Amino acid sequence: MNETLKVLETRRSCRNFKPDMVKKEELEAILRAGTYAATGMGKQSPIIIAVTDKELRDKISEENRKIGGWKEGFDPFYGAPVILIVLSDKNVPTHVYDGSLVMGNLMNAAESLGVSSVWIHRAKEEFESDFGKEILKKLGIEGDYEGIGHCALGYAAAPSKEAAPRKDNYVYCI
C-alpha cells in the first residue's frame, strides 16, 4: 500500500502520552507539513503557535479545562508535551476550512513520523478571552484570529486501537 494512504488509514487519536519531548527534527517536519496545507485561494490564512514550554503548556491546559468544565486536575491534552495551536485570520472567508486542513496535515505528518496526536477543541474560546489575547500580544501577533484547534503531540504510552469499521453509507457514487 502507498505510504501516504497507509498513514491516512492508520492514524488514531492518542489520549495517553509519554512525557518525553518530541524530537526537534520531527517537530520541525510536522510544522513544515502544516504550512503546506491547502488554503482557499492560496491566502494562507492560518498561523501555528508551537508550545513546548511546560509552564505555558500547563497554563493553556488549565484554561482549556476550565472552558470544558472538567474537574480540577484533569488534563485535556492527556499529558502531551507539545501543543500546536492553529488559528486563522477571520477576515478570510475560508479561515475555518483553512485551519482545519492545517490540523489534518499536522496530525497526518506526525503519524508518518511515529509521533501521536489528538485534536483538542476550545481554541476558539481560549483566543476570544483575555488569556489567549495576552499570548498573541506577547508573541507580537496582530490581527483578528480565531482559534481553530490544538494539535496535541507526543509519543503514545500505549499502542493505538484498530480502526472502527467504516459505515456502509459513507460514500455515494453517481
In CATH, what class is 19-154?
Answer: alpha beta
CA atoms of 154 and 102, how far apart (whole Å) = 18
Contact 47, 112 (CB under 8 A): no
Is a pLDDT exceeding 90 seen at residue 168?
A: yes
Question: Percent of the chain at pLDDT above 70?
Answer: 100
**Average pLDDT of every residue of the chain:** 97
Closest CA to 100 of 143, 144, 25, 40: 40
pLDDT digit string (tens) for 126-155?
999 999 999 999 999 999 999 999 999 999
Contact 117, 152 (CB under 8 A): yes
pLDDT digit string (tens) for 73-86?
999 999 999 999 99
**Would you kindly state where each structural domain of the chain is located, as residue ranges?**
19-154
Per-residue pLDDT at 81: 98
Residue 37 burial (CB < 10 Å; 0-12/13-18/19+)? buried
